[in-house]
Amino acid sequence: MTFHLHYSAISDVGRVRRDNQDSGYAGPWLLTVCDGVGGAVRGDLASSTAVQQLRKLDQPPADDLLGQVAGAIHRADDRIAELVEEDPALSGTSTTLTVALFDGEKLAMGHLGDSRAYLLREGEISQLTQDHTFVQTLIDEGRITEEESRTHPHRNLILKALDGIRHEEPDLFEVPLQLGDRVLVCSDGASGVLSPERMADILGSGTPDFAAVELVRASLEAGSTDNVTCVVAEVSGTEPDATLQPLLVGAAADLPRRAPLAGAGRGLFRGHRSGDTGEIEPVTDVELGEDIPAGAIPADPIDPEAARYAPRPPSQHTGLRRLLAALVLLGLAWIALAVAWSWSQQQFYVAEHDGRVTIFRGLNADLPGIELSHPYETTDVEMAALSDIEGEQVREGLEADNLADAHTIVDNYAARQASG
């Protein structure tokens, strides 16, 4: 049986942050969330660039799903690298990435960073992705629990991201689907504050649109200080309503990041449990405290989002990779030159040398400082014995198809000289 996805997506700037660094996309074949760099290095640009590349996957896929996902991720990485090369001020920008490509029966997953994907099946929720974070390594080593990781001082530090420099290899895997499954792809603004039980309760409620809205609202009510993006899809046996169009949300949608009211850093929230539409109340100066400017984060002196993506030295193998790349390019250039030289030494022409008609080997051309030919065989035919027209032709050089053809040209001049 071929399934269909009924999907929804929503992204909110949250109660504290000024800009939305998240980007998301939901379509009939593709679900993805990217959480960009915080701070001044344009995380919104990194996440939106990645999503704009990934959304090209939203079409009936071919057989090699994982290959398509890997290729799209690498193209997104290359595009970010191009942006950094064009504007060095963007150096340090990066984004997490979680992408799910659907083929009617299963999902092909690609993952970097700490955005997450979940599967809700028959009321049980399971985390599909594994975070590439410092605290996840502590969990894997048994040093802290999942619950303790939510309050760990370094919970925001990621170890892998899409930055156009380090070219990290993503996690790639497939997930078989069943009728009635629900899939959630979200930024850490949601997964960082909601327990799996709370997430499962909301994810299984109502329509995908209702679940997405409630997940964002619950995250903000739970105290999330980050942008929150949730993409929800339900596996169905029927095609979705024809009016359902792909959804592009967050920074990638180029939505306003401030409410029109001066000083109100509001989110673009679309609804709540009662079904009304509205906006989350802005954080006021009173809530933040008299000594904290409006819009600031009442936490550590350093924005944890900026510290989370603080520029780190390249891998210790970066120099070696560059050296190997240079050696490969040098080797290719040497091979190309060797091939060109070998071909040139199979070319012949007839010209003048020391007053005699001479067969040259190489190309009848000049390059400054480089000799492309040399006398190969000097004949007994003297230039003085040739007519003015013949002499001019020889001085300019007569091309020959091969050595035998060059001998034929010389023999003709020799015969005319003998008859004269």
Q: Where are the domains of the chain?
A: 4-314, 345-419
pLDDT at 280 over 70: no
What residues does 349 pair with on adjacent strands? 360, 399
pLDDT over 70 (residue 316): no
Confidence grade of residue 254 (pLDDT, cut at 50, 70, 90)? low
Q: For residue 68, which amino acid is it?
A: Q
What's the CATH code, domain 4-314?
A: 3.60.40.10
pLDDT-derived band of residue 365, with 50, 70 and 90 as boundaries?
confident
pLDDT tens sequence across 231-248: 999 999 999 888 899 999
11 forms bridges with which residues in the sheet?
A: 229
DSSP annotation of 105: S
Q: Decide the pairing of beta strands 30-35 and 116-121.
A: unpaired
Cα gap 12→22, rounded to integer Å: 8
* Predicted confidence band of residue 293 (pLDDT cuts 50, 70, 90): very low
pLDDT, tens digit, 9 for 90 and up, residues 158-215: 899 999 988 999 999 999 999 999 999 999 999 999 999 999 999 999 999 999 999 9
> Rounded distance, CA 332 to CA 21, Å?
42
Return the number of other C-beta atoms located less than 10 Å from residue 384's C-beta: 9
Q: Decide: residue 70, CB within 10 A, 0-12 exposed, 13-18 middle, 19+ buried.
A: middle
Full-model pTM = 0.64
Where do the H-state alpha helices sit in 37-96? 43-54, 65-86
Rounded Cα distance, 114 and 112, in Å: 7
